[in-house]
Amino acid sequence: MSGTTTEHLPRVEELQAAVEALAAGRFRADRAPAPAPGEVPAGIARPLETTTWATTREVLPVLAASGSSGATSLAVAVASILAPARVVECCSMSATGLAEAATAELGTDASGWCNGTREQVALSRATRVIAGPDAVPTPVVVEAPGWDVLDVGWQLEQLTATGGWLAQQVQHAPAIVVAATASVPSLRRLENTLAALPASATTVVAVRSLGSKRLPAHVRAALGPRTTTHLDRGTWIDVPHEKDLAERGLSGSPLPRSLLNAAHQISRLIGAGSTTKEGISS
């Protein structure tokens, strides 16, 4: 074509740079560059350099074998029996169950925990999206005697795969509570969780009913050998289904007495009975 020169045509290097920019999402001026492989996006808590947490208080992890097993409500109930105590909710802020649980809000501390209280129980929850269990900020160390109940908020396989202070606490805890529901999928996950727990820990299973006082035959048939052992030796605690709590979630209202009774039984099984309140009459 007459009058055409090559000085205004893009060079090979420029074309390659353009292709790379498109792949990285840098083709719009108002869009931030996509994170490099392995990089955590801005605004999300990153894995911590400090992966240990030293505390002189008693620590009790509460694990959920499956979703919607009531682990957070159970953690608050157990802390209420063990009081003075603190519940540290270790999940991401987007999954919190403590947003309405405090009766008094105390603000956010330097480590990024939003703190509140209800009677003799302190509540700490995350204020950021957390990418994984190894990115959970270390809680502020409380010097006063008492209990730190860890609402773990992650599956056990996630903890063991990533490490961090939370995984260490679960691995070395003298006692662990595992919450589940009386359903076939949840009890199957419970069996897998029990198989992966450290053998040195005293483990208590807390199973929330789904409205029935007895396990249906098809649910009982799903019990694995480890779960059956807990049922036979009395380390299986029945947690009655509370319709209002299940529908509304935790609030500043008093916890149901049935839940507190289950928490009291747990406290006895983990060896804390001499330091806790007497049973809650129904």
pLDDT digits (tens, 9 = 90+) for 14-65: 666 666 655 555 544 444 454 444 444 444 445 444 478 989 999 999 999 9
Dihedral sign for Cα 62, 84, 270, 276, please. negative
* pLDDT value at residue 35: 47
pTM over 0.95: no
Residue 67 has pLDDT above 80, yes or no: yes
Quickly list DSSP for 214-237. S--HHHHTT--HHHHHHHHHT-EE
Domain ranges of the chain: 57-273
Residue 154 has pLDDT above 50, yes or no: yes
- CA distances to 45, 127, 195, 202 from 136, rounded to whole Å, are 8, 11, 25, 25
Average model confidence (pLDDT) across the chain: 85
- CA distances to 6, 8, 10, 252 from 3, rounded to whole Å, are 10, 12, 17, 80
The answer to whether 89 touches 72, Cβ cutoff 8 Å, is yes
Q: How confident is the model at residue 263 (pLDDT cuts 50, 70, 90)?
A: very high
* pLDDT value at residue 50: 47
Window from 50-59, 114-123, 146-155 with minimum mean pLDDT? 50-59
AA letter at 202: T
User: pLDDT over 90 for what percent of the chain?
Assistant: 67
Q: Please give the Cα distance from 75 to 90 (Å, whole number).
A: 12
- Give the Cα-Cα-Cα angle 253, 255, 259 (nearest 5 degrees): 165
Q: Please give the Cα distance from 25 to 282 (Å, whole number).
A: 60
* pLDDT value at residue 24: 55
The mean per-residue pLDDT over the stretch 149-154 comes to 97
* pLDDT value at residue 279: 44
Residue 152 has pLDDT above 90, yes or no: yes
Q: What is the pLDDT of residues 177-211, one digit of tens each?
A: 999 999 999 999 999 999 999 999 999 999 998 76
Window from 19-23, 66-70, 136-140, 222-226 with minimum mean pLDDT? 19-23
* pLDDT value at residue 269: 97
Q: What is the pLDDT of residues 213-248, one digit of tens each?
A: 688 899 999 999 999 999 999 999 999 999 899 889
Name the architecture of domain 57-273. 3-Layer(aba) Sandwich (3.40)
Q: Compute, in degrees rounded to 10, the torsion defined by CA atoms 8, 14, 16, 22.
A: -100
